[in-house]
């Protein structure tokens, strides 16, 4: 790797990120059923109908996995807490075995000198709450507050940082408008409600944690740069609509107490009554803002109902996800977010990484494309820092090859290869390069 730790500010944190359903093995330890189990059990939703029953079996192997985080020289570990593992029915009686597990996991991080950075919702909604309408039901804010309280009463004293919800766009739009993630709906009214309730739940959880005396609380937003597919005003307007729905809705709600007009144009008729009154909760002050960044999209207008746009294939080199590699978007988002939304608040890149078709040959995995991807994005982070943006850390997605949602186990994002037959872990060349960089 061409970077050294000493090229970054003194307190800059390097970490890696994972999520519960993608690695733990959800069939273990008394976890409740989730809408991802239901979604995966429905033909056509997930590659080979794979689910998170066993995943990487991190539930039983977390000590070995955290040893890998430590040995890489990383400072922090971003993980998530499964709602259905803590509360199998979503509300009510906690699963003590689940709480004990997160207790041990937290202590195992601290024993290794790793900063625990928790996310409270990384997509495995308990099925019992999905039955009640899930993110379409306003009550989800209170249900999520209850879960937050139970989880953080137990763990909050040892967290370095906590964010309520991973990637609100995926929770709301991808899952309720595009049908790509659980619950797999394609319904504009459901989507609009989820777009609002996800932020209401975020704010409720922040307030709950403040009530417990916690600090260093943030939000994690996934951002995708929208480039007009051509120079026409129509393409520019379509890209602006995409930007409004994908990026500005969530940042605008949390940091400005307002939704962008280009999104309201289509969504306002479908929002729940009284939505304007929820901003005091949605805007609960944060201590930092996390950006997950992977790619950009080329956007063209389309003769369909709102949002009347389509994605067009772009010319840049692509990852195994078919996502264009566009590091400039990371610099632009860091700069724009600070300038327009967050000011002096510390920014973290809470996810960045790529999928590649890595194969194990003679006990080793060579993934130079991942190293190059990370280098190019670290350059973008450095340019933002040089321009005065307060970027405080960078987390690589992901530690392990894992369950990549609707794409099953096919798309490998790990610094560490996982053999899904034997569950053996093998550090890839990118892991070794990162380790050398962090030591220098
Ligand atoms: C992000 C998700 C993460 C993983 C990566 C590739 O959107 O937060 O769980 O799927 O994409």
pLDDT, block means (10 residues), the chain with 440 residues:
96 98 98 98 98 98 99 98 99 98 99 99 99 98 99 98 99 98 98 99 99 98 98 98 98 99 98 98 99 98 98 98 98 99 98 97 97 98 98 99 98 98 98 96
CA of 432 to the centre of ligand 1 (A): 23
| Predicted local confidence at residue 406, as pLDDT | 98
Tally DSSP H helices, then E strands, for the chain: 17, 11
Q: What's the CA-to-centroid distance between 206 and ligand 1, angstroms?
A: 22
Q: What is the DSSP letter of 357?
A: -
Atom 5 of ligand 1, residue of closest alpha carbon: 397
CB-based contact 403:49 (threshold 8 Å): no
β-sheet bridge partners, residue 349: 291, 394
Q: Does an H or E element contain 61, and which?
A: helix 58-71
Q: Residue with the nearest Cα to atom 10 of ligand 1?
A: 404
Nearest CA to ligand 1 atom 9: 19
Ligand 1 atom closest to Cα of residue 222: 7
CA gap 190, 6 in Å, rounded: 48
Radius of gyration of the chain (CA): 20
* Paired strand residues for 228: 299
Write down the pLDDT at residue 440: 84
Yes or no: say if 256 and 289 are a contact pair by the CB < 8 Å rule: no
Q: What pTM value is reported for the model?
A: 0.98
170 CA distance to ligand 1 centroid (A)? 9
Question: Which atom of ligand 1 is the closest one to the Cα of 167?
Answer: 8
Residue ranges around ligand 1 (CB below 6 Å): 19, 22, 166-167, 170, 222, 292, 351, 397, 404-405, 413
The set of residues, in sequence order, having a beta carbon less than 8 Å from that of 269 and lying 6+ positions away, is none
Residue 282 in contact with residue 202, Cβ under 8 Å? yes
Q: Using CA positions, which residue lies closest to atom 4 of ligand 1?
A: 404
Pocket test for ligand 1, best of 19, 80, 246, 397 (most atoms within 8 A of CB): 397
The atom of ligand 1 lying closest to the CA of 404 is: 10
Q: Which of 320, 396, 404 to mutate to test the pocket of ligand 1 (most atoms within 8 A of CB)?
A: 404
Ligand 1 atom at shortest distance from the alpha carbon of 353: 6
Which residues 6+ apart lie within 8 Å of 412 measured at CB? Answer: 320, 355, 356, 357, 358, 401
Q: How far is the CA of 58 from the centre of ligand 1 (A)?
A: 17
**What are the structure tokens assigned to 161, written together?**
């940082």
C-alpha 413 to ligand 1 mean position (Å): 9
Q: Which of 77, 72, 180 is nearest to 123 (CA)?
A: 180
Nearest atom in ligand 1 to 170's CA: 7
Ligand 1: which of 170, 405, 410, 412 to mutate, most ligand atoms within 8 Å of CB? 405
How far is residue 191 from each of residues 238, 256, 271, 272, 361, measured CA to CA in Å?
19, 21, 9, 11, 45
**Residues identified as active-site:** 167, 351
Cα of 122 from ligand 1 centre, angstroms:
9
* Residue 277 Cα to ligand 1 middle (Å): 31
Q: What are phi and psi of 16, to 5 degrees?
A: -135, 155
Report the pLDDT value the prediction gives residue 236, as an integer from 0 to 100.
Answer: 98
Which atom of ligand 1 lies at the shortest distance from residue 355's CA?
6
């Amino acid at each position: 790797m061409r970077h050294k730790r000493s090229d970054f500010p003194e307190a800059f944190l390097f970490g890696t990120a994972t999520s519960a359903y993608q690695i733990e093995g959800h069939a273990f330890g008394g976890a409740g059923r989730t809408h991802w189990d239901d979604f995966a059990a429905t033909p056509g939703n997930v590659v080979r109908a794979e689910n998170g029953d066993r995943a990487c079996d991190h539930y039983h192997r977390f000590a070995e996995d955290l040893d890998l985080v430590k040995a890489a020289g990383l400072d922090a570990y971003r993980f998530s807490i499964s709602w259905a593992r803590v509360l199998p029915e979503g509300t009510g009686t906690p699963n003590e075995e689940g709480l004990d597990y997160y207790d041990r996991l937290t202590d195992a991080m601290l024993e290794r000198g790793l900063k625990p950075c928790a996310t409270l919702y990384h997509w495995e909604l308990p099925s019992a709450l999905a039955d009640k309408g899930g993110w379409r039901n306003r009550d989800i804010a209170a249900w999520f507050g209850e879960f937050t309280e139970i989880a953080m009463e137990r763990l909050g004293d040892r967290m370095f940082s906590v964010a309520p919800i991973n990637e609100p766009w995926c929770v709301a739009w991808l899952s309720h408008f595009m049908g790509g993630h659980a619950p797999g709906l394609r319904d504009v009214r459901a989507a609009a409600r989820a777009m609002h309730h996800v932020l209401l739940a975020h704010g409720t959880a922040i307030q709950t944690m403040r009530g417990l005396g916690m600090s260093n609380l943030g939000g994690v937003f996934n951002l995708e740069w929208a480039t007009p597919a051509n120079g026409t005003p129509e393409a520019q307007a379509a890209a602006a609509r995409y930007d409004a729905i994908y990026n500005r809705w969530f940042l605008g709600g949390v940091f400005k107490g307002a939704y962008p007009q280009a999104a309201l144009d289509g969504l306002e008729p479908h929002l729940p009554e009284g939505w304007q009154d929820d901003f005091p909760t949605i805007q609960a002050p944060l201590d930092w803002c996390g950006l997950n960044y992977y790619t950009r999209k080329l956007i063209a207008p389309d003769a369909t109902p709102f949002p009347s746009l389509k994605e067009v294939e772009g010319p840049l080199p692509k990852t195994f996800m078919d996502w264009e590699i566009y590091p400039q978007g990371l610099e632009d988002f860091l700069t724009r977010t600070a300038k327009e939304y967050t000011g002096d608040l510390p920014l973290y890149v809470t996810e960045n990484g790529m999928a590649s078709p890595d194969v194990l040959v003679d006990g080793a995995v060579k993934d130079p494309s991942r190293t190059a991807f990370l280098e190019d994005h670290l350059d973008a982070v450095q340019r933002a820092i040089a321009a005065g943006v307060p970027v405080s850390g960078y987390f690589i997605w992901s530690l392990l090859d894992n369950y990549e949602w609707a794409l099953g186990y096919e798309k490998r994002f790990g610094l560490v290869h996982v053999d899904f037959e034997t569950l053996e872990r093998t550090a890839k060349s990118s892991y070794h390069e990162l380790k050398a960089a962090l030591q220098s």
